[in-house]
Amino acid sequence: MNIQHLNRDYFKDVLFGLSIGDALGVPFEFKNRDYFYAQPVTDMEGYGTYNQPPGTFSDDSSMAFCLAEALTHGYDVEWIANNFISWLHNRYWTAHDEVFDVGISTSKAIRQLVLKVPPVLAGGADVSDNGNGSLMRILPLIFYLRYLPETERFKKVSEVSSITHRHPISITACYYYMEFARLIMEGENKMSVYKILQSGFKDSVNKLMSDHSHLQLFDRLLNKDIHTLQSNAIESNGFVVSTLEASIWCVLTTGSFKEATLKAVNLGGDTDTTAAVTGGLAALLYGWKAIPVRWMNMLAKREDINDLAERLKATFEHHYGV
């Protein structure tokens, strides 16, 4: 382990990083890129698309908090699924006691969960069910995964993605993202992480999945150098591979939390999710203390999020041997 990582609080990095990114993007969701060329976002703002005050996080963070909350009781897909139902139906872990955004596949999957379909079978498995709805909420699972062997890591990512998104494309995107996060936590620098995955990710997926024809969709991440692309080659729509590519591109082409998350928002389109997915990794790289204090002070439920991070830390502390 790299010495600079010894005093880090990855629990706060993950929970604050993703929710701050989410909140930065919420007012601008669905705005196209031309809007931002004329007036780039440079700070936390409010209102806009959903008319929410500054610092309001959305479904991405709510569902990630639901997952984190479930993990404080150990790994149990039923518990995670029940928390997702509570979020959608009872506004559990919402910023201001309101669910103002939910993806189509997620909403369909939660209907299945209510009908008692087993969580690992609830998500859509059609090729059209590959929005970024499981990628946006999966990062807290890293605390459970990080010390497991590869086959178990993949199995758990697959199960947790499948609660809402069961197609191999979504599962592979989530697995890539989690491996990226895990390697950062091992103390690798971001470019080494990227190179390690370029050399090994394809082989692991070939080993872990019986059908891996969809891997060609990951070609730009795995075989090209995504960080060398210009912004006009980076898509920021709701497709899970686009969101993954955009977030890795934002992280690799910037040098701070603030720069990475603002770059994600300024891509336009699915601004909150691109920035949430970017923000989780950026906070793991730079630490949650690198998040502008002004933004932290605006974040809804920050005390509750801090408390959740501490409870999650207490749950997993024994893994660190401290």
Least distance to Mg ion, CB of residue 273, Å? 6
- What CA–CA distance (Å, rounded) separates 147 from 18? 22
DSSP secondary-structure letter at 47? B
Q: With CA atoms as reference, report the closest residue to 260 among 11, 24, 9.
A: 24
Helix (H, G, I), strand (E, B) or coil at 273: helix
Beta-bridged to residue 52, according to DSSP, are: 47
Least distance to Mg ion, CB of residue 101, Å? 5
Q: Which is nearer to Mg ion, 58 or 112 (CB)?
A: 58
179 belongs to the binding site for Mg ion (CB under 5 A): no
Number of residues that bind Mg ion (CB under 5 A): 5
Q: Which is nearer to Mg ion, 60 or 69 (CB)?
A: 60
| Burial of 72 per CB tally in 10 Å (0-12, 13-18, 19+) | middle
Q: Which is nearer to Mg ion, 87 or 154 (CB)?
A: 87
Stretch that binds Mg ion, among 3-11, 97-105, 109-117, 127-135 (CB under 5 A): 97-105
The CA-atom distances, in angstroms, between 195 and each of 201, 221, 277 are 10, 10, 20
Angle, helices 168-185 vs 271-286, to 10°: value is: 30
Least distance to Mg ion, CB of residue 249, Å? 20
- Which residues from 213-272 bind Mg ion, rule CB under 5 A? 272
Stretch that binds Mg ion, among 99-107, 185-193, 212-220, 249-257 (CB under 5 A): 99-107
Q: Which is nearer to Mg ion, 52 or 158 (CB)?
A: 52
Least distance to Mg ion, CB of residue 243, Å? 11
Contact yes or no for 163/122 (Cβ under 8 A): yes
Least distance to Mg ion, CB of residue 58, Å? 3
19 belongs to the binding site for Mg ion (CB under 5 A): no
Q: Which is nearer to Mg ion, 193 or 240 (CB)?
A: 240
Taking phi first (over 0 means left), then psi (-120 to 50 degrees means alpha), and beta for anything else, what does residue 321 get? left
Q: With CA atoms as reference, report the closest residue to 280 among 304, 310, 244, 313.
A: 244
Among 16, 21, 24, 60, binds Mg ion (CB under 5 A): 60
13 belongs to the binding site for Mg ion (CB under 5 A): no
Least distance to Mg ion, CB of residue 276, Å? 7
Residue number of the CB atom closest to Mg ion: 58
Stretch that binds Mg ion, among 63-71, 93-101, 151-159, 171-179 (CB under 5 A): 93-101
Among 19, 52, 56, 58, binds Mg ion (CB under 5 A): 58
b/e 78-102 (16+ beta carbons within 10 angstroms → b): ebbbbbbeebbeeebbbbeeebebb
DSSP secondary-structure letter at 6? T
Q: Residues in the site for Mg ion, rule: CB under 5 A?
A: 58-60, 101, 272
